[in-house]
Amino acid sequence: MTAHHDLLISQGSRALGTRLRRLFETLNAGVSAMYDEAGVDFEPRWYGLFTLLRHAEDLDIGSAAAVLGQSHVAVVQVANALEKRGLIRRVTARHDKRSRVLQMTAKGRALCEKLDPLWDAVSAASAALLKEAAPSLLADLEALDAALLKRPMLDRIQHHLQDNS
């Protein structure tokens, strides 16, 4: 669909979330296709938790969710998928025998070796795309994150609803 006929573009800020979702889906489709072509059983949505566990010795779900800025439910879903494939495991925490933490397995560490060159290519392609089309996008996303932390979207919407009542 061309931009000229794109309903979402014509909706402007009203469709911001929908357009961001569409962009996200387009980017993820390309990355998913790359994993498929490389014969690697990995999904784009696993990247955050997998990378976090690569660099953390032990991490509980709540801490992972906080670091990633994702919901507990979303992190549990990804952890379950990674565990099912043998890439991570849940073990009893050393400091508290009642809690469980996530750890990367040897299989997960071995997969990192296959993923690193793929992720380098994704990074290079992303950098080139940003340079070509949206050089300030990463800074703009950081600004949006900060603004929403300062004042959540629901509060912003409610403010406008009150103004229009």
- pLDDT band at 2; cut points 50, 70, 90: low
The CATH number linked to 21 is 1.10.10.10
pTM check: above 0.75: yes
Inside any domain, residue 109: yes
Arithmetic mean of pLDDT over the chain: 95
**53, 120: one domain:** yes
**33, 93: one domain:** yes
Inside any domain, residue 41: yes
Rounded mean pLDDT, 24-38: 98
Note down the domain range covering 80: 7-134
**103, 126: one domain:** yes
**48, 38: one domain:** yes
The DSSP secondary structure of 86-147, one letter per residue, reads TSEEEEE-SS-TT-EEEEE-HHHHHHHHHHHHHHHHHHHHHHHHHHHH-TTHHHHHHHHHHH
Kind and range of the H or E run holding 61: helix 61-68
What are the backbone angles phi and psi of residue 6, rounded to the nearest 5°? -85, 110
pLDDT exceeds 70 at position 125: yes
- Express each pLDDT in 71-121 by its tens digit: 999 999 999 999 999 999 999 888 887 889 999 999 999 999 999 999 999
